[in-house]
A and B are shown apart, each in its own frame.
Chain A
């Protein structure tokens, strides 16, 4: 089972090397966006296959913070400050959502 996972990882790295993921070409900022999107793929793995409900909640919480960084980098590239507004609102909503999920997991009422 462990050997199977190692082989899977090496195959993924080979595909990325074949698609010129590690080569510098064009704007460097696109590479940074690619790395964050790749990390989001890992987070989605934890959301789908997480063994318990708490793992999924952790993954959603982390996803919200990653999106703040992603939107900030996109805003830096286009030199527009309203992307930062979207990032702040997204962070607020994801924080409130994490608290609500935690209360539901604890079987408590929301106005407690």
Chain B
């Protein structure tokens, strides 16, 4: 009984944060800000869903696969975000006009 409450609670929290992340993908102004909001929230949300499934299923086949999925997501998603942000800065995609400072571009010009 208490196991079901904890498991479904984690799944609800995960789905809500997934939705917030996608809302950030729509509302924020440029590529880097979108990448920040979307990567953080969607990774945490999907991790929450998989952890809830592990709590509900226990130590069987399904549960172990969910744990593998959590480890994989938390390693892969920031790496992909890093690659995309690096590539878009290299291919001269402009930052938003609200931007205060860009020390990376300054250092690249000085080289």
Contact = CB atoms under 8 A, between A and B. Distances in A.
Direct contact of A and B (CB under 8 A): yes
A81 B62 contact: yes
A72 B80 CA distance: 22
Contact of B87 (A65, A66, A84, A105): A105
Contacts of B62: 75, 81, 84
B6 interface: no
A19 B42 CA distance: 27
B69 interface: yes
B14 A106 contact: no
B69 A35 contact: no
Contacts of A68: 46, 50, 69, 73
Nearest to B75: A95
Given A62-B38, A65-B42, A73-B11, A91 B72 contact: yes
Contacts of B83: 98-99, 102-103
Interface size class for chain A? 35 or more
A88 B100 CA distance: 40
B75 to A, nearest CB: 9
Interface string A17-36: 00000000000100010011
B68 interface: yes
B69 to A, nearest CB: 6
18 contacts: A42-B25, A45-B26, A54-B84, A54-B93, A55-B31, A65-B46, A68-B50, A68-B69, A72-B46, A72-B50, A88-B65, A88-B69, A91-B69, A95-B76, A98-B80, A98-B84, A103-B83, A106-B90
Given A52-B93, A57-B84, A58-B31, 10 more contacts: A45-B26, A46-B25, A52-B31, A55-B31, A62-B38, A69-B14, A69-B49, A72-B69, A75-B62, A88-B72
